[in-house]
Amino acid sequence: MNVRFNIPFKHEDALKNMAASIELGKTSGNHGFSKACHRFFKESIQSKPLLTTSCTDALEMAAILADIQIGDEVIMPSYTFVSTANPFLLRGATLRFVDSKADHPNMDEALLAQLINERTKAIVVVHYGGVSCQMDTIMALAAKHDLLVIEDAAQCINAKYNNQPLGSIGQAGAYSFHESKNISCGEGGLLLVNHKEWEKRAEILWEKGTDRAAFWRGEVDKYGWVDVGSSFLMSDILAAYLLSQLKHLQQIQQRRMDAWNYYDAKLQTLATKHDVLLPIIPSYAKHNAHIFYLVVKDKDQRVSLLNYLQKAGIESYFHYQSLHNSQYFEDKHEGGKLPNAGRFADCLLRLPLHYYLTQAQQDFVINEIFSFYKNMLGE
């Protein structure tokens, strides 16, 4: 049996919408389909949404809005994707990496205070697998030290911290619609501007440093170059694709949650019998079934299990390398050891999880995992 790791959701409306955009001849950014996507987000999130070409670009906008200057320090987890770091590095920031929690890849909020000094400007939080960080603690610490909080909420559509949508809590947040995420349009992203004073400037950065968006609304009688900016807008063709997915968000989420809960229920004995860590969801987090992972005993066991599953036709993957240990950053890292990030980098593996995954396929995956441990113990 072949079990794919991810298959993006498909709906016939995707092609219909994209054809309509092309027929209309309105294929650049901020036309009808983009506006429809923006309306969709405004209905559930009290923030200003701006569709971007990627989450990476949305984070670049956030770094400009945060006015990051050379030498400013920015704190972020080490166990994350490079796109959390690059936008801040490109503005000249010095990165300070914080370790993960012992039982979860998210940043350990208890370790933040010791990294803060007079040069610290912002904390970038990453909600791993759509599971929220401890935002009350982080926001209170940021307020105390006058720091900005930017949420890399790339994986977080539909996920919440208590009743607040992730990405809407810090001054700005960013979603991704990359092929690998719950909702996708190939490549795409969304900036959520939560800080009212940034709204106007965000729109200008988005439109290459011009006040074009205000012009289209009739707020200014001509438009021109008023600030720095870049070409951050998503094409309306991709917004058309994205809209076809957003319309089915609840259906997609229901299916993913069911599959996630099924793994969780069936794999519990691994935790008790074989010392495997399964995802832990804190009471304040409403996750979105983005990732189901196992954290096994050590790196060797992960290699063996990945090979075992691969031989059975099951696609399973590890995830991030710790950024502080990367080829690019290793000699720039001045912080201490980050053992928990190292453990997730070495021992975490992700199981297939997508809309089209059947229960028969899940049973197969689950059985193969149990048979791996049985063989290993020579039972």
- State the residues that interact with ligand PLP by CB under 6 A: 54-56, 80-81, 83-84, 126, 152, 154-155, 176, 178, 189
Q: What is the CA radius of gyration of the chain?
A: 21
How far apart are the C-alpha atoms of 107 and 121, rounded to whole Å? 17
By beta-carbon proximity to ligand PLP, the closer residue of 173 and 352 is 173
With DSSP H G I counted as helix, E B as strand and the rest as coil, what are the percentages for the chain, rounded to 5? 45, 15, 40
Q: Assess contact for 156 and 149: CB atoms under 8 A.
A: no
By beta-carbon proximity to ligand PLP, the closer residue of 131 and 312 is 131
Minimum gap (Å) between residue 339 Cβ and ligand PLP: 21
By beta-carbon proximity to ligand PLP, the closer residue of 34 and 56 is 56
Minimum gap (Å) between residue 54 Cβ and ligand PLP: 3
Minimum gap (Å) between residue 155 Cβ and ligand PLP: 5
Minimum gap (Å) between residue 173 Cβ and ligand PLP: 11
| Burial class of residue 273 (count of CB atoms within 10 Å of its CB; 0-12, 13-18, 19+) | exposed
By beta-carbon proximity to ligand PLP, the closer residue of 84 and 168 is 84
Minimum gap (Å) between residue 52 Cβ and ligand PLP: 8
Conformational region of residue 356, where left means phi above 0, alpha means psi within -120 to 50, and beta covers everything else:
alpha
How far apart are the C-alpha atoms of 120 and 95, rounded to whole Å? 10
By beta-carbon proximity to ligand PLP, the closer residue of 14 and 58 is 58
Q: Residue 169 to residues 45, 47, 140, 143, 193: CA-CA distances in angstroms? A: 10, 9, 12, 13, 10
| Tokens read off for 191 | 């900036």
Minimum gap (Å) between residue 81 Cβ and ligand PLP: 4
By beta-carbon proximity to ligand PLP, the closer residue of 302 and 350 is 350
